[in-house]
Amino acid sequence: MRKFLLAAAVLALSLPGSALAQSADVVGPKMAKIGKIDVKDGPHGLVLTVELEKGALKPGAHGIHVHEHGDCSDEGFKNSKGHVNPSKTEHGFLNPKGPHPSDLPNIWAHEDGSVLAELFVPGMKVSGDNGLQDADGSAIVIHANPDDHTTQPIGGAGDRVGCALFKK
């Protein structure tokens, strides 16, 4: 029993810093923290938990995607570049030529601007070549408007209003 408890303790301690799980702050357009995203690496893909504070977003639906470059340092978050897309497909769950592996369902902000959402990204990993923590890292970017899952290249989701940096 003691051996089991010890093993459980070691596992719990190893999770936050390992490749299996990572938590990142989400910063808003003025670089202030507006929430966080927790990522868990599972056997079939990533489970994301998005938790944003009151006032973080305007109420309603917002597009969210995994962008290819791990950089949230500029206003507008253009440094995060485009969507992770090693398969060279088009954007959009409703597009016959889509989706990008980094496309995600919209998240909804409550009337107070807060968000609590859980998302699944099939096939994506935390580490490895096309993982969140690849050579140049990745950014999970939240947009001002909903993603219509059809329009190129980002479903008409508009400006980038939140950014979470994932790097080794």
165 binds Cu ion (CB under 5 A): no
149 binds Cu ion (CB under 5 A): no
Least distance to Cu ion from the beta carbon of 45, Å? 18
Least distance to Cu ion from the beta carbon of 9, Å? 39
CA-wise closest residue to 147 among 99, 111, 112: 99
Instruction: Note whether 24 and 168 are within 8 A (CB).
Output: no
Least distance to Cu ion from the beta carbon of 104, Å? 9
Q: Which of residues 20 and 108 has its CB atom nearest to Cu ion in the complex?
A: 108
Q: Interior CA angle at 95 toward 91 and 101, to 5°?
A: 40
Q: Which of residues 131 and 155 has its CB atom nearest to Cu ion in the complex?
A: 155
How many residues of this chain bind Cu ion (CB under 5 A)?
A: 3
CA-wise closest residue to 133 among 46, 4, 36: 46
The 3-state DSSP class for residue 161 equals: strand
Interatomic CA distance for residues 94 and 150, integer angstroms: 5
Interatomic CA distance for residues 31 and 43, integer angstroms: 34
62, 65, 91, 149: residue in contact with Cu ion (rule CB under 5 A):
65
Instruction: Read off the tokens for 55.
Output: 């006032």
Q: Which of residues 54 and 81 has its CB atom nearest to Cu ion in the complex?
A: 81
Residue with tokens 């939140």: 162
141 binds Cu ion (CB under 5 A): yes
Which of 23-31, 54-62, 108-116, 134-142 is the region at the interface with Cu ion (rule: CB under 5 A)?
Answer: 134-142
100 binds Cu ion (CB under 5 A): no
139 binds Cu ion (CB under 5 A): no
57 binds Cu ion (CB under 5 A): no
User: Percentages helix, strand, coil for the chain, rounded to the nearest 5?
Assistant: 10, 35, 55
In sequence order, the 6+-apart residues with CB closer than 8 A to the CB of 3 are none
Q: Which of residues 134 and 147 has its CB atom nearest to Cu ion in the complex?
A: 147
Q: Which residues bind Cu ion (CB under 5 A)?
A: 65, 141, 154
